[in-house]
Chains A and B, each alone.
Chain A
């Protein structure tokens, strides 16, 4: 089986819009969460959100290309630009080689709603202009990244709620392992506008700690009251190992395993059983044991039910005897700082994990005051730990019960 490595990455998130800033904020445990007061009038109970700036693309892209980009594709453009730059893949390379793209994205709510309201308001669909037909598709990110950056190989969109972009990385890895592609851009994107997560507020999954945004996302903490929606985009250049070596690329990490599972619980209810299975499958795929894992980037979103089930699954996987002997991996949920980046989370948490491996630290699970009983035996990191980590397991569990685990290794 061909080996797959990461040779570039980029991110546009609420804790930074470049890798250096994101690294520093992860080390310092800084939250990117703020308040969107205008949501109160829309009927939201939660006013919290990751605060993600919209990039100014006018100096970077011509009107026709900008016109095709949804909000989440704008973020993806910035992340992809950084990733391709680090991978040293310029326009000429992309034009002459078939680079693939797999992006995770599960909604384009703002574009869909703007199309409908725009047409109805004008009583004429011709008044929508040309961009909406593209922007309203969930495949908008993958298609526009391919169009803008000349990525002429395989092109897929993965949509599985919060597992979307972990699946994108897994699928991109498979394409390379199978010999279909030498290089694939894999990533995730998430809109942050007031249409994006309104239905999740409606099912009472969002935190209502509106007066204390910096402490609202508190995975594994007894006083948690829901997730904080967030977004942006992240992108990774995945490449076949020998190909990367031959062209002298800088190798950042290796994707050594992935696993998939699906809950058999009712929709919306997490399952410790399926979460245990997905981690087991990823370890088997990577030919590793639980004791080989140095750090777990937990899915833990700060929801009441979700964190309990993941804590049960982690405790079962790593075993009480290992935990008592202090062989349990360090665990943190970076969502404590970023909020839940949803469709982007699998890819962004891969980027966060690689940054930790590169810079020899484990980012903290901030806001953890009173740990839930189910997680009391886990080695959850409350303050940054400065130590080398070589192997990371990263969980992404989708709202519809679709689970994906990735395993990344320092190389």
Chain B
């Protein structure tokens, strides 16, 4: 999956499911302060990440995500890692 595809898929679920204003979805937008995502939303994000990208992140990994740009990086990195059963 290309970075552009990651960005498009991420922005799509943030708008459709998390009801975020598309204008706020810039790489430097902070998850907590600018996008108003709290710790419970992070648990929902884990479910969404599994469904959209087939990745099972750990909560501790998610806590390192501060901005939307960090999130794109995180997904890109996770997708490039070999899966445990591969």
Chain B positions 25 through 63: 1 when the CB is less than 8 Å from some CB of chain A, otherwise 0: 000000000000010110110110010000010010000
* Cross-chain contact B46 with A63 (CB below 8 angstroms): no
Chain A: CB-nearest residue to B43: A130
B86 within 8 A of A: no
- CB < 8 Å: which of A62, A64, A67, A126 contacts B46? A126
A127 adjacent to B44 (CB under 8 Å): no
Across the two chains, which residue of chain B brings its CB closest to A134?
B40
- Cβ of B28 to closest chain A Cβ, rounded Å: 23
| B47 (CB) vs chain A CBs: closest residue | A129
Assembly CA distance A99 to B41 (angstroms): 28
Q: How far is the CB of B65 from chain A (nearest CB, A)?
A: 15
- Provide the A111-146 mask, 1 if CB < 8 A to any CB of B, else 0: 000000000001010111111000000000000000
Question: What residue of chain A has the Cβ atom nearest to residue B38's Cβ?
Answer: A64
Say if the beta carbon of B5 comes within 8 Å of chain A. Answer: no
Chain B residues in 8 Å Cβ range of A64 = 38, 40-41
Interface residues of A in 63-113 (CB under 8 A from B): 63-64, 67
Residue of B nearest to A122 (CB): B50
Among A62, A67, A122, A124, the residue within 8 A (CB) of B44 is A67
Quick one: closest A residue to B37, CB to CB? A64
Q: Does B81 contact A (CB under 8 A)?
A: no
Pick from B17, B19, B41, B56: contact of A124, CB below 8 A.
B56
> In the complex the two chains form, is A63's CB within 8 Å of B43's CB?
no
A57 nearest CB across to chain B (Å):
12
Most chain A Cβ neighbours within 10 Å, of B17, B38, B41: B41
CB atoms of B40 and A63 under 8 A apart: no
- The B interface is mostly helix, strand or loop, or mixed, namely helix
Q: How far is the CB of A129 from chain B (nearest CB, A)?
A: 5
Beta-carbon nearest neighbor of A125 in chain B: B43
A130 contacts B56, CB within 8 Å?
no
Chain A residues with CB below 8 A from B56, complex form: 124, 126
- The distance in angstroms between the C-alpha atoms of A124 and B18, with both chains bound, is 22
Give Cα A127 to B38, complex, Å.
17
- Do A63 and B50 have beta carbons less than 8 Å apart? no
Identify the closest chain A residue to B46 (Cβ): A126
User: How long is the Cα–Cα vector from A64 to B42 in the complex, in angstroms?
Assistant: 12
Asked if A127 and B46 sit within 8 Å, CB to CB, the answer is: yes
Q: Are B59 and A63 in contact (CB under 8 A)?
A: no
A264 to B46, CA, bound (A): 51
Q: Which residues of A contact B41 (CB under 8 A)?
A: 64, 130
- CB contact between B17 and one of A63, A126, A127, A131 (< 8 Å): that residue: A63
| Chain A residues closer than 8 Å to B44, beta-carbon distance | 67, 129-131
List A contacts of B40 (CB < 8 A). 64, 130
In the complex, what distance in Å separates the CA atom of A49 from the CA atom of B41?
35
Question: How far apart are the CA atoms of A386 and B11 in the complex, in Å?
Answer: 60
Give CA–CA (A128, B50) in the complex, Å. 11
Which residues in A have their C-beta under 8 angstroms from that of B43? 126, 128-130
Give chain B residues whose Cβ lies under 8 Å from the Cβ of A131.
Answer: 44
Q: Considering the chains assembled together, what is the distance between the CA atoms of A127 and B40 in angstroms? A: 12
Residues of B within 8 A of A67 (CB): 44
On whether A126 and B59 interact (CB within 8 A), knowing A64-B40, A64-B41, A67-B44, the answer reads yes
A128 to B56 Cα, complex, angstroms = 13
Measured CB to CB, the nearest residue on chain B to A127 is: B47
Q: Which residues of B contact A63 (CB under 8 A)?
A: 17-19
Assembly CA distance A129 to B43 (angstroms): 5
How far, in whole Å, are A67 and B17 apart by their CA atoms in the complex?
11
With both beta carbons as reference points, the residue of chain B lying nearest to A118 in the complex is identified as B47
Give me the 3 closest cross-chain CB pairs, A-B, nearest first.
A130-B40, A130-B43, A129-B44
Return 15 A-B CB contacts under 8 Å, by A number: A62-B19, A63-B17, A64-B38, A64-B41, A122-B50, A126-B43, A126-B56, A127-B46, A127-B47, A128-B43, A129-B44, A129-B47, A130-B41, A130-B43, A131-B44
Q: Which residues of B contact A (CB under 8 A)?
A: 17-19, 38, 40-41, 43-44, 46-47, 50, 56, 59
Please give 11 more A-B residue pairs, beta carbons under 8 A apart, in addition to A63-B18, A127-B47, A131-B44: A62-B19, A63-B17, A63-B19, A64-B38, A64-B40, A126-B43, A126-B59, A127-B50, A129-B46, A129-B47, A130-B40
